Amino acid sequence: MLVGDEVQINPNRSRTLQLLAAGVRETVQRYAITFWQLSANPSINRGTLERESRTVAQRLSVLHGINAPEFFDKAVFTSLVLTLRDEGYISDTGDADATETIKVYQMLADLVTSDVRLTIESSASQDAVS
C-alpha cells in the first residue's frame, strides 16, 4: 500500500506475498546460477553451461535443503539455456557478452539470499580448481 511517497507492505497481505515469492524463488536461483556461470566464463559453450549450471544447482540443493528434484532437472536447464541462446545472450559455441551477463546476474543476486549467492559465486572458483 502507498503511504505518502513510500510503498509499504500491508501486514494483512504478507502471507500472500510470501506464497508468491516461494513460487518463483527456485526459478530466480536457477537463472542466477546460469548467469553467474556465463559471467565467470563468457566463452563457455552451451552444453558445458547446461552441465555446470546443473552441477551448481545440485550443490545448492544439498547445501540449502532444496528438496525438489526438478530444481536441477536437465530439461529445465536445457530449456533455460536454449532460451538464453534465442534471446542472444549466448551462442552454441560460446561468446557471451560478459558486461551484459554480469548486469543481469547482479539484478538476480539482489533477489536471492546472501548464503545462496555465496554458494553460487563460490562454485565458479571451485569448478576452475577441479
One-letter identity of residue 123: S
Average model confidence (pLDDT) across the chain: 87
What is the arithmetic mean of pLDDT over 65-73? 83
CA atoms within 13 A on the CB side of 34: 29
| CA 8/CA 35 separation, integer angstroms | 31
Count of domains in the chain? 1
* pLDDT greater than 90 at residue 93: no
Domain for residue 35, yes or no? yes
One-letter identity of residue 117: R
Domain for residue 2, yes or no? no
pTM of the full predicted structure? 0.81
Domain for residue 6, yes or no? no
List the domain range (segments joined by +) for residue 48.
25-129
